[in-house]
Structure 1
Amino acid sequence: MPTLESPPMRTADVARRAGYSVQQIRNLERDGVLPAAARTSSGYRVYGEVHLNSALAYRALAAGTGPVEAKEIVRAAHESPAGLLARLDAAHARLDRERTELALAKEAAAAISAEPIAEVRPADAMAVGELAAALGVRASTLRHWDAEGLVVPDRRDGRGTRRYSPAQVRDARIVHQLR
């Protein structure tokens, strides 16, 4: 008949089964994600099923919430069921907000992309100050987007004055919606 206690595991056993390195298991224990391991008389760590389950829970949570929040959630599981539920609720609420914001940004980007660009004339281009005012951002924001390669305007004359074509204005509107 199987017992409720699992056979003892070494650090390497937990690491292999959880998909982590031995050092990462030690780090997770140090950070309180894994409960403190028992030690043998010679000082070796002895882990059980609770340690493996904690490492696996952390791995799954980190994929969805990020490592910092995952550590907080797993620590709360060891300390207080009420604290755990509160942290999980907060994580779910944050992820739901992010999904909603992402969906709205995608809709806005799709709507902007679908707008037809009428016959383009050279006079339709906008200077950096004009576009900044139209978007409600500072000109330095547009220069930063240029430096990052997000919206790269045409350069006119010998001074390198930025001029945004209608297609680049559309791109700037999309970047503005996504930020």
Structure 2
Amino acid sequence: MGRNLQSGERLRPVDLARPHGLSTQAVRNYEEAGILPAAGRTPHGYRTYTPLHARALRAFLALVPGHGHPTATSIMRAVNRGADDEALRSDTASRSDTASRSDTASRSDTASRSDTASRSDTVSGPDGTFIGPLAEQLGIRPATLRTWERAGLVRPRRDPRTGYRVYDEADVRDARLAHQLRRGGYLLEQIAPLIAQVRAAGGLEPLEAALGDWRGRLSARGRAMLTGAAELDAYLRERG
């Protein structure tokens, strides 16, 4: 590492834990998980830490809100074994995922503000559209639409002559919204009540509050990523 972790100021586990409201066991667990560099030991076998360990702990705790515990752990483990490129790839992948979700939120918000967004480019006849053309338009498999139907997200009627599913304008709207929300990370059981509210209201207005909350969480995550990046950079600079 470019710095002797057992030299200079010695810190006890409690010295690292107390500023963050952690237990000393949590600090030891983080070390054992590779989130912190290996601690030094006294002649009696007690762990001793340095300010560099404290910096590593601050970096990890700052990374968690933006990236989540698993990704933050992966980043710190990579850094502590000298695989900085791997750590940066994990960081970049997580940022890209957040950017993608933010883009989806923006497009979903656009759909929620205009009913024309849910039907302007739908290819259908006066009686509706069938499962194949709708799936193709959305870029999904017909099996996905059937799964959504079982979950109550779409409710196509059946053609009395052929038995084929027929999606009317409201069904297409619901399918488009389900598609956008799934891309944004929503689970089927989370989407179903939103779709039910849209149907009850006869429009997309009930989604605005949910989308506002979603955008707020993405914005907070983005800011947290900036804070985490600053702390990680400080750790890398101190580590040398």
1:23-172 aligned within 5 A: 23-80=25-82, 83-84=83-84, 86-87=85-86, 89-113=88-112, 114-116=114-116, 124-126=127-129, 128=131, 131-148=134-151, 151-153=153-155, 164-172=167-175
Q: Which piece of structure 1 moves more, 50-59 or 164-173?
A: 164-173
User: Is the 2:154–2:175 contact (alpha carbons within 8 Å) kept by the matching residues of 1?
Assistant: no
For residue 141 of structure 1, report the CA deviation from its aligned partner. 0.7
For the residues of structure 1 that align with 2:25 and 2:128, how far apart are their CA atoms? 57
Flag the structure with larger Rg: 1
Q: 1:172 to 1:30 in 2, by over 3 A?
A: same
For the residues of structure 1 that align with 2:149 and 2:130, how far apart are their CA atoms? 13
For the residues of structure 2 that align with 1:163 and 1:21, how far apart are their CA atoms? 59
1:120-159 CA distances to partner (integer Å, 9 max, x unpaired)? xxx645555564354343332123224445x2426779xx
Hey, what does 2:189 align to over in structure 1?
Answer: none
Q: 1:89 to 1:41 in 2, by over 3 A?
A: closer
User: Is the 1:9–1:47 contact (alpha carbons within 8 Å) kept by the matching residues of 2?
Assistant: yes
Give the aligned length: 165
Unaligned stretches of 5+ in structure 1? none
Q: 1:147 to 1:177 in 2, by over 3 A?
A: same
Q: 1:33 to 1:135 in 2, by over 3 A?
A: closer
* Larger RCO (CA within 8 A; separation ≥ 6): 2
> Under a length normalisation based on structure 2, what TM-score does the superposition of the two structures give?
0.52
1:75-128 CA distances to partner (integer Å, 9 max, x unpaired)? 343343xx42x345424532443344234323432343313379xxxx645555
Equivalent residue of 1:33, what SS?
A: coil
For residue 24 of structure 1, report the CA deviation from its aligned partner. 2.8
2:9 counterpart of 1:6: yes
Hey, what does 1:174 align to over in structure 2?
Answer: 177
Q: 1:49 to 1:28 in 2, by over 3 A?
A: same
Q: 1:156 to 1:104 in 2, by over 3 A?
A: same
For the residues of structure 1 that align with 2:93 and 2:47, how far apart are their CA atoms? 36
> Under a length normalisation based on structure 1, what TM-score does the superposition of the two structures give?
0.66
Over the residues paired in the alignment, what is the CA RMSD in angstroms?
3.6
Q: Which piece of structure 1 moves more, 54-63 or 103-112?
A: 103-112
| Amino-acid identity (%) | 36
